[in-house]
Amino acid sequence: MATAVDLGRELIRRRISLAYGGGNVGLQGAVASTVFTNGGLVRGFIPGYIATRRVYGPTYGVEHTVSINYYKYFEMNHAMEAFIILPGGVDTMEGISEYLDRKSTLENTMNSLRGMGESWM
């Protein structure tokens, strides 16, 4: 969790806005909370069926409700310059799949998959 908070602080330091999957739980919640409480721009993209149930708690910043996860990643892709995938649940694998799909279809993009201190791609 401390590394997620450090990531949020680094985004603030570099004046990078955050687009994330919405909610306030887990590592992405910690990053979003840190960015939001320190005055950064935060946009959460969350499918409507999850948003209405509030399973993941309230979203920090501006909440964008989308119909399905595909559109969550589609909209996030247009709202960001970089894509960071944090360990979590099933959404982690879906996020990696979406990232790799976009990597294979978009040209002239800088791509890197990294772990803590190691490069995967």
Res 95: pLDDT: 72
Q: How far is CA 61 from CA 23, 90, 107, in A?
A: 10, 24, 31
Cβ proximity of 46 and 76 under 8 Å: no
The pLDDT of residue 26: 87
Domains plus CATH for the chain? 1-87 (3.40.50.450)
Q: What single string gives the DSSP state of each residue in 64-121?
A: EEESSHHHHHHHHHHT-S-----S-SHHHHHHHHHHHHHHHH--S-----EETTEE--
In the prediction, which pLDDT does 10 show?
Answer: 93
The pLDDT tens digits along the chain (121 residues) read 888 999 999 999 999 999 888 888 888 899 999 999 999 999 988 888 887 777 777 888 998 888 887 788 778 777 776 677 777 777 777 777 777 776 666 655 555 555 655 544 4
Tell me which residue of 33, 26, 25 sits closest to 8, measured CA to CA.
Answer: 33
d(CA 10, CA 35) in angstroms, rounded, equals 9
Total residues belonging to the chain: 121
C-beta of residue 46 within 8 angstroms of C-beta of residue 10: no
